[in-house]
A and B are shown apart, each in its own frame.
Chain A
Amino acid sequence: MGIGFEVLDIDLEAEANRICEAIRKGVSLELKRRGVVVALSGGIDSSCVAALSARALGPKHVHGLHMPERDSSGETIKLSKSVSDTFGFDSTVEDITPILEGLRCYERRDEAIKMVFPDFGPGWKSKIVLPGVLDGSAANQSYNVYSVVVQTPGGEILKKRLPPKAYLQIVAATNFKQRTRKMLEYYHADRLHFATTGTPNRLEYDQGFFVKNGDGAADIKPIAHLYKTQVYAMARHLGVPAAICNRAPTTDTYSLAQGQDEFYFSLPYDKMDLCLWAKNHGKAPGDVAGALGLTAEQVERVYRDIDQKRATTRYMHLAPVKCGEIPELDV
């Protein structure tokens, strides 16, 4: 029998109460901190975590951070401030551009792009993209190999596959952004004796869509078990501003506009959610194909891509490899 999007429906009020209880207990009993810091991106996930935290702990025990940088969308800070205003907690603006300049983040990234497009420079924009999972033939699905897309000052769009050295340097340089933000989150968490929050949803957490020791580092991750569809529903239920609830997910990391589905996921988030749910529940591709408007063979490809990304990003979930036993520590 066919499965539809209704499988992702949850009792939002009951789930909000359950998460809030987990936040209260987690922060007080496990982490022994007085509140939480939430890095606000203006996106749905951090806004939902902020709303849940304010409800769980009270606004006095939440501190928001707005951390735009040179490549952030112009509306980022307006949206993120609407969240701290709506839920009534204090927040701090930290423009991280000077820190990133000090780290030579942009310079190192641009140096890598110049390996592929030697003329790349001021006035150009860039992003990196994956091939579509549904492109090519079924038996011979393309590897998840990134290409760089640039826009010249004249508006021309050019695309080339990234050689390994350039790819790794672009990723390493842009990862400074997430790691710089996390460093500042810990600064504010330490000065307030608060804990840091992580804001991945289930899709991101499962598929490794985060930076290790960047946005992947956190003391508590309140929505890592919720599919992104459920995060949107929860955010609406909690009163997150409509401008955020109605906004398409972006990475807000590269200078060219970039949807999460072209950067990382093979389908728009709602369809990815349903595929992931169906796979997690042992459903055959044919059971879910109709609701997705795909063939069973296409869903099978998405299933394979899910497995491939789990394998590729497994190391991001791993604790450090220890080469001997330390039985005294119960962690």
Chain B
Amino acid sequence: MALSPQDVERDVTAFIVENFLFGNAADAPKPATSFMETGLIDSTGILELVAWLEGKYGISVGDDQLVPENLDSVGNIAAFVVRTKGG
């Protein structure tokens, strides 16, 4: 079955809540919430997130793909993962 953006959003949100928010789901980011603007995830957090994405979805994220368009929100990540898996 094809991976949907909603599946990825759910998984990414769960990863963020568990690893960056100590399980506090009340502070979970909305799909469009910018990590940079809210300060929720810094560059080390992005590294951790990318390592997890690569393991979870079997993708390889290139240096030129480490940009906010792909990674600055749960929604951006979901679109990026689906695009990468599909492509």
Contact = CB atoms under 8 A, between A and B. Distances in A.
Given A308-B36, A312-B42, A167 B47 contact: yes
Contact of B47 (A139, A141, A164): A164
Interface string A133-155: 00011011111110100000000
B43 A312 contact: yes
Nearest to A171: B44
A177 B43 CA distance: 24
Contacts of B42: 311-312
Contact of A136 (B43, B47, B67, B71): B67
B20 to A, nearest CB: 13
Contact of B51 (A141, A163, A312): A163
A143 B67 contact: yes
A168 interface: yes
Interface string B9-24: 0000000000000000
Contacts of B47: 145, 162-164, 167
Given A167-B47, A312-B42, A140 B69 contact: yes
Interface string B26-70: 000000000010010011101110010000000000011011110
Given A144-B43, A311-B42, A312-B43, A164 B51 contact: yes
A161 interface: yes
A312 B66 CA distance: 17
The dominant DSSP class at the B interface is helix
The dominant DSSP class at the A interface is loop
B43 A143 contact: yes
Nearest to B41: A143
A167 B44 contact: yes
Nearest to A307: B36
B44 A164 contact: yes
B43 A141 contact: no
A131 interface: yes
Interface string A158-173: 0001111101100000
Nearest to B71: A143
Interface of A: 131, 136-137, 139-145, 147, 161-165, 167-168, 308, 311-312
10 contacts: A140-B68, A142-B63, A142-B66, A142-B67, A143-B66, A145-B43, A147-B63, A163-B47, A164-B44, A308-B36
Given A143-B43, A145-B43, A145-B47, 11 more contacts: A139-B69, A140-B68, A142-B63, A142-B64, A142-B67, A161-B63, A164-B44, A308-B36, A308-B43, A311-B42, A312-B42
